[in-house]
Structure 1
Amino acid sequence: MLNRFALTAAAAASALTFATTALAGDQYVDETGFAVSGYDVVAYFALPQNPVGQTQTPPVAGNAGITADYNGATFAFATEANRDLFLADPAKYAPQYDGHCAYGVAQGGKVPANPYLWRIVDDRLYLNITDVVVGFWEEDIPGNITKSESNWVSIEDTAASDRTIPKFTSTAPQS
């Protein structure tokens, strides 16, 4: 398995796009023991994405027996093929801001993110914390990403959030 240094080097070598720096701090991990509460981050990219203002398609639960480590956390996958895609380019699939709420980062802090509240923008996965926060984030997605990128530089090295995701129970595997 590739080590964190090798994966970081591979991420740095990939195209410099908005948010590749969004993977430098500690990954948010909740009570499941997995990044993104045990949901398959590769599977998000194959799900139909609903328009702004509509609830997204539910994420795909990962399998506790099909995992990969990246950014100090264990990610679970529904299939070995998804795990292999992730290992080939983890920065492409891992959620931005180390799995913290994108709008929270835009506001200058690290708070947990709910894996059901997601959106793919410019081939990057963004998560948010609550339905209400999704509404604020969707009012100006490009502007909020710009704010998040600006804020991330000063908060990425702070500890990952240790808070529980409000009103959320994962149906994905537990470690």
Structure 2
Amino acid sequence: MKKSLFTLALLATVAACSAPAENAAEGDSVATEGSAVEAGLFADLGGEAENPIYTENVGDTLAVRGYDVVSYFVGDGTPVEGAEALTVRYNGYDYRFANEDNANAFVEDPAKYAPAYGGYCAWAIGAKDALAPGDPEVYEIVDGKLYLNFNKDVQANWQKDIPGFITNGDKNYPTHSADEHFKS
């Protein structure tokens, strides 16, 4: 009998501790995959990058130079920089957002908003199978996906055959490992 009561109490405690908080304050950070959100993060979605993600320096975790990737898709589509307080970690990289609505949209569907080819230049990966930095201010959205290019001249080349470069980029990018970084 004591063993049954202990087991029942233990199960009730586990269930209570793992249930979502009913009265969470609006705007509370979101934690997923069973982990608490690291201090300074709005949310940690967990995961690890399978392919390279562009950062300015090897070992950095700030993706897209801190630009809010949702901002490309909402309002007038003008990219804006995100705030450090609204950082969401996704596959080991930090994405920043200008407001909580954008951060929450990313949390709901990060693959929808994260740039193609990890933020590397779409033309370089499609035309040369090479990693080159993507400039967050030189971009195009094609079929609901964000593509960055190195600069406006490179983007002009990319625009000559967007479908072809995307087809090649989709084949080339998965051949690169997560620990690769562009070589300047």
Query: TM-score, normalised to structure 2's length?
Result: 0.68
Range that drifts further, 108-117 or 24-33:
24-33
RMSD over aligned CA atoms reads: 2.4
User: Percent of pairs identical after alignment?
Assistant: 37
> What corresponds to 1:43 in structure 2?
71
Contact 2:86 2:100 (C-alpha < 8 Å) held by counterparts = yes
How far residue 155 of structure 1 moved from its aligned partner, in angstroms, is 2.2
**SS of structure 2 residue aligned to 1:152:** helix
Closer, same or farther: CA 135–63 of 1 in aligned 2, 3 Å? same
Is 1:91 the counterpart of 2:111 in the alignment? yes
Q: Structure 1: any 5+ residue segments left out of the alignment?
A: 9-22, 50-56, 164-175
Contact 1:41 1:93 (C-alpha < 8 Å) held by counterparts = yes
Contact 1:27 1:98 (C-alpha < 8 Å) held by counterparts = yes
**SS of structure 2 residue aligned to 1:46:** coil
Is 1:120 the counterpart of 2:141 in the alignment? yes
Is 1:69 the counterpart of 2:108 in the alignment? no
- Larger Rg belongs to: 2
Q: How do 1:19-34 residues align onto structure 2 when only pairs under 5 Å count? A: 24-30=50-56, 34=62
Alpha-carbon distance in structure 2 between the residues aligned to 1:71 and 1:146: 24
Contact 1:7 1:90 (C-alpha < 8 Å) held by counterparts = no
- Which 4+ stretches in 1 moved above 2 angstroms? 155-158, 160-163
**SS of structure 2 residue aligned to 1:117:** strand
> What corresponds to 1:136 in structure 2?
157
Q: Structure 2: any 5+ residue segments left out of the alignment?
A: 1-30, 34-44
**SS of structure 1 residue aligned to 2:159:** helix
Structure with higher RCO (Cα < 8 A, 6+ apart) = 1
Query: TM-score, normalised to structure 1's length?
Result: 0.71
Alpha-carbon distance in structure 2 between the residues aligned to 1:114 and 1:93: 16
Is 1:146 the counterpart of 2:174 in the alignment? no
